Amino acid sequence: MNEADQLLDDFLVESFESLDQIDLEMMDLEVESDSPDLLDSIFRGIHTIKGTASFFDLFQLSNLAHSAENLLSLMRSGHIKADSQIIDALLASLDAMRLMLDTVSQTGTDTSFDQTGLINRLARLAHSASDSADRHDGIEPYDELSANHHPVAEPPLDSHESVESSLFLFEDDDVDDPASAAGMDDAHSGDDGRLDDGAEPKKAGRKSGQDVSDGRVRVDVGLLDRLMNLVGELVLARNQLLQGQKDSDQHISQIASQQLNLITAELQEGVMKTRMQPISRVWAKVPRSVRDLAIACDKKVRVEIAGGNTELDRTILEAIKDPLTHLVRNAIDHGIERPEQRVEQGKPETGLLEVRAFDDGGHVIIEISDDGAGLDLRQIREAAVACGVGVPEAIATMADEEVANLIFAPGLSTANTVSNVSGRGVGMDVVRANIESVGGGINITTTRGVGTTFTIRIPLTLAIIPTLIVRCGDEPYLISQVSLVEVLHVGRGTDSEIESAGGIPLLRLRDTLLPVVQLREVLGLEPAELNTGANVDIAVLQIDRVTFGLVVDQIVDTEEIVVKPLSPHLNNLGVFSGTTILGDGRVALILDAAGVARGSGLFRHKQREQRVPTARPTRRGGDAETVLGCMVGSTLIGVPLVLISRIERLPATVIEHTMGEHVALYRDGVMRLCYLSDMVGSSGRPEPEVDLTVLVYEQDGEVYGLVVDEVVDSLEIDPANGLSVGDQTLRVAATIGRRESDRIKIDELVASTRSVVSR
């Protein structure tokens, strides 16, 4: 890069930053219209841009800045007061400047722009104001090149169309009410001009504007000095260590290595800090976009921001930028009601949008909450059924919280929820995917009529993560503690046990049964045989709301590790997410918990879908449920794993038949038997003298035994696909006992049986 390019680059970075700053100040100006400090600061910012732009021969840009400056100088001298018209015009100019800077960064010139319309608009405002006051000498009509009176600047992209064609995957009750939806459309088209030159160029400009500034980080000089000092100490410690070794002086070496330990920790922390940036960098634009959106949607919104100083690694900031924007848009477009509705419901006319960030032990929590209508769960349920996101029975019995989280499911939308403002082609599924890509999670709580809160939880940094070291075969492997729930050693006599049902091992952890995955198997090693009561180390992992036990050879230790990217040679193995170097200098692989689950067939149906070479996007089922597949006659039945407390093999001798009921003596009590073969209309019950395989299910102190022929495997089913069956030879599949707050009623169990002919 030559010197001139370097200068231009600096100018671009600075200008984007000062435009952002001016944006914020404009927001304040709207409230305090006569604050001289604010006006001075805005004026200075624009003035600098104007001056530097003409230095670089960017005359379109400097002309526009000049006009804005004229208007501002009138405001400074008190000849005119800022009103919404003036602020709109100034904001439009700022956006146009961004767009121009953006073009400059790509092409080097701004000649493709004709800002005459916008310049005239500014000049008209200045004139009309100064006509009433004394004509001020400071204003000269700087550029009246064209008589062509565009009311506003025309951005080169067809923003209107992009707004119209976008599709949106979120919804709430706005759609219930056609009048309100139509009203919003009207309001929107009335404001089209403003939105077009307001929101659209800003978006475009902002995006690439940061591309320019992203290559560099501003570091506090104090921090840099401290780092330099630490490096100095590091060199000293090294000298000491070398000296100590040369003289074989144990004492000196020991002191030096302790020193080294301290310095490294401090250095690590310091360098980390240089990568940390306040979250306000991302949401500095929130007030501005809230303003534009509120106008576009004809709503009144006040935004409160707290915790902007919370710091996050810059790569993480990048990843959450778009999701945050999307959530804010949603809150305004869908969450907060129109003023008249709010008044009707006894709420203040102005809606409140709160954006908060705070630290929470190694994580940062971001909350975005509005005091709007909340989600219409009933409608989400309907939409979920209509869009095939889940089977009706599953959705009908879901807890409210689960229903709310359905909005993250891909494909959830209805035709009449397409919105002009929020639909930018980024659905809620993408929001979740983005957040999960940096190891975070998102949750939603909503109360009808009171509001909605999105809670995002993200790790502070990605570069150094706490992990669990496990051994499998001869090699150590690492598991990120983000997905780790707990670590267990199980065996006979411990609280938790491996239970083997028909060769399929399951982990009974307290009162739940979890599927078990053997790491050896995933890694292509000879798996160990897991019988009931086997003595093994298990790491319980949770991925995408699926919890499973990972059997490893040995749990070794926990360690904070520095993540090194995976070589492109190993990218497609699927089960590893990176590598690291352990304390002893060995290279170790980091396991990707989701990949392990996939590799083990826990998400079997998903994997199968991915192999299908059609262009259909793969579903990321958030509501997939693990069921225990059991053979009853020739039917495969899925029983939700969470319902079953254990699997037993009952000898025929303990079974008694009394008065049409079948009971078994079981653990000092009586267990009522329920023959699933009756439900599926299958060919007869097992012979009375045969031992029974029974799924034990407890409710209200009563113990029930669901009699099956054989336990096949734990399967993952996705409500979106109905059922998926691993084995092609099975013709009929059924699922029973849908969850209803984790309880089923045995007598309803039969009624809710559903048979699906697959194949």
State how far the Cα of 525 lies from the Cα of 518, in Å rounded to an integer.
Answer: 10
- In this complex, which beta carbon is closest to another protein, that of residue 125 or of residue 519? 519
State how far the Cα of 149 lies from the Cα of 116, in Å rounded to an integer.
Answer: 8
Q: Is 586 a residue that touches another protein (CB under 8 A)? A: yes
Q: Which of 524, 617, 651, 681 binds another protein (CB under 8 A)?
A: 524
Q: Is 490 a residue that touches another protein (CB under 8 A)? A: no
> What distances in angstroms separate CA 234 from CA 264, 265, 583, one per listed residue?
8, 11, 19
What's the N-to-C CA distance of the chain in angstroms?
62
Q: Is 596 a residue that touches another protein (CB under 8 A)? A: no
Q: Which listed range, 114-122, 250-258, 271-279, 584-592, lies at the site for another protein (CB under 8 A)?
A: 584-592
| Min dist. Cβ of residue 579 to another protein (A) | 5
| Min dist. Cβ of residue 223 to another protein (A) | 24
Binding mask 544-583 for another protein (x = CB under 8 A): --------------------x--xxxxxxxxxx--xxx--
Q: Is 618 a residue that touches another protein (CB under 8 A)? A: no
Given a contact cutoff of 8 angstroms between Cβ atoms, the answer to whether 466 and 543 are in contact is no
| Min dist. Cβ of residue 538 to another protein (A) | 20
| Min dist. Cβ of residue 477 to another protein (A) | 9
- In this complex, which beta carbon is closest to another protein, that of residue 190 or of residue 473? 473
Q: Is 523 a residue that touches another protein (CB under 8 A)? A: yes
Q: Which listed range, 485-493, 521-529, 674-682, 709-717, lies at the site for another protein (CB under 8 A)?
A: 521-529
SS3 470: strand
Given a contact cutoff of 8 angstroms between Cβ atoms, the answer to whether 100 and 58 are in contact is yes
Binding mask 444-473 for another protein (x = CB under 8 A): -----------------------------x
Given a contact cutoff of 8 angstroms between Cβ atoms, the answer to whether 51 and 45 are in contact is no
Q: Strand 576-581 to strand 276-278: parallel, antiparallel, or no bridges (unpaired)?
A: unpaired
| Min dist. Cβ of residue 462 to another protein (A) | 17
Hey, what amino acid is at 154? E
Given a contact cutoff of 8 angstroms between Cβ atoms, the answer to whether 723 and 640 are in contact is no
Q: Is 652 a residue that touches another protein (CB under 8 A)? A: no
Q: Which of 140, 474, 687, 747 binds another protein (CB under 8 A)?
A: 474
- In this complex, which beta carbon is closest to another protein, that of residue 295 or of residue 519? 519
State how far the Cα of 308 lies from the Cα of 278, in Å rounded to an integer.
Answer: 6
Q: Which of 346, 493, 585, 701 binds another protein (CB under 8 A)?
A: 585
Given a contact cutoff of 8 angstroms between Cβ atoms, the answer to whether 548 and 559 are in contact is no
- In this complex, which beta carbon is closest to another protein, that of residue 485 or of residue 582? 582
| Min dist. Cβ of residue 215 to another protein (A) | 21
Task: Write down the residue that tokens 């304040």 correspond to.
Answer: 28
Q: Which of 231, 265, 271, 587 binds another protein (CB under 8 A)?
A: 587
Adjacent-strand bridge partners of 88: none
Identify which of 66, 46, 17 has the alpha carbon closest to the alpha carbon of residue 205: 17
- In this complex, which beta carbon is closest to another protein, that of residue 449 or of residue 524? 524
Given a contact cutoff of 8 angstroms between Cβ atoms, the answer to whether 714 and 641 are in contact is yes
| Min dist. Cβ of residue 160 to another protein (A) | 41
How many residues bind another protein (CB under 8 A)? The answer is 25
Query: Within 10 Å of residue 715's Cβ, how many Cβ atoms?
Result: 25
**C-alpha dihedral sign at 462, 465, 470, 474:** positive
State how far the Cα of 714 lies from the Cα of 546, in Å rounded to an integer.
Answer: 12
- In this complex, which beta carbon is closest to another protein, that of residue 4 or of residue 581? 581
Given a contact cutoff of 8 angstroms between Cβ atoms, the answer to whether 578 and 595 are in contact is no
The footprint of another protein (CB under 8 A) covers 473-475, 523-525, 564, 567-576, 579-581, 585-589
